[in-house]
Structure 1
Amino acid sequence: MTAFPMAPLFRQSIGFDRFNDLFESALRNDSGSTYPPYNVERRGDGLYRIVVAVAGFDNADLGLQVERGVLTVSGGKRESEAKEVTYLHQGIAQRAFKLSFRLADHIEVRNASLVNGLLNIDLERIVPEEAKPKRIPINGERPALES
């Protein structure tokens, strides 16, 4: 694996120390599974949706959790209802899974629904007033810092 120096990135930024962790996890060559398949969609200004194909899973089999800016989608292994079934071909995978998505700042999970075997997770960017850009007036008649 090729190491990239991060120092040039941090010379002109303040308070972005956790980006180093983001870059390292993105560059890590994980042999992660592609099961179950999923889409990440942009649905509008500040609106996003994650769609996970979870055919054969029920609401009770699925779990969603957000912790420290990471959304985790998990599905437990389904128990076969008819244990005496002998599959001639089993193409529908119903194994346990765990997907993790790192959420950007101010992204919140708004809704989750299971429709036709697709788990839809709606996300929204809600920027608080204190995080929005502010225009700073320049006043030359009095000092900026007064004691």
Structure 2
Amino acid sequence: MSDDPFAASDAIAVAADPETVFAFLDDPENHAAITPGLTDVRDVERLQNGGKRLSYTYRMAGVEVDGQIVQTVYDPPECHVFELRGRLAGTIDLRLAPVKGGTELTYAATYDLPKNAFTKVGAPVIRRFNERQLRVALENVAARFDEG
């Protein structure tokens, strides 16, 4: 695990092949359904690399934050990488690997927050929040395929 309080990474086994999981994660509406705090995705456009650019609204600590996501890597069925732009900036890296019984999905996120007194004092809280949010998103993906 990284010492960066603004980075989190975790993995989960998903009961579906990498192609199926990749296709699920390729639909922005599914991200809104699995990601805690992501309340809206809109203005979706396909990019030349096969990925997407879209606008989003994320609710954090009772405050709505709007931004843009640009998919910088689109490598089916192995990898999605997204760049977050706006007030909440950073990267999200989703890696898929075949394993017995399905797919290992690894989710790594790094957020570019300004280093100031608040973020320095609040670093442990920020780390726990990021880790919880990421874990819930992974569990939500796995649950989608466990149901079927």
Q: Same fold (TM over 0.5)?
A: no
> Which structure has the bigger radius of gyration?
1
Which TM bucket (shorter chain)? under 0.3
Q: TM-score, normalised by structure 2?
A: 0.25
| Structure in which a larger fraction of residues adopt helix | 2
| Structure in which a larger fraction of residues adopt strand | 2
Q: TM-score, normalised by structure 1?
A: 0.25
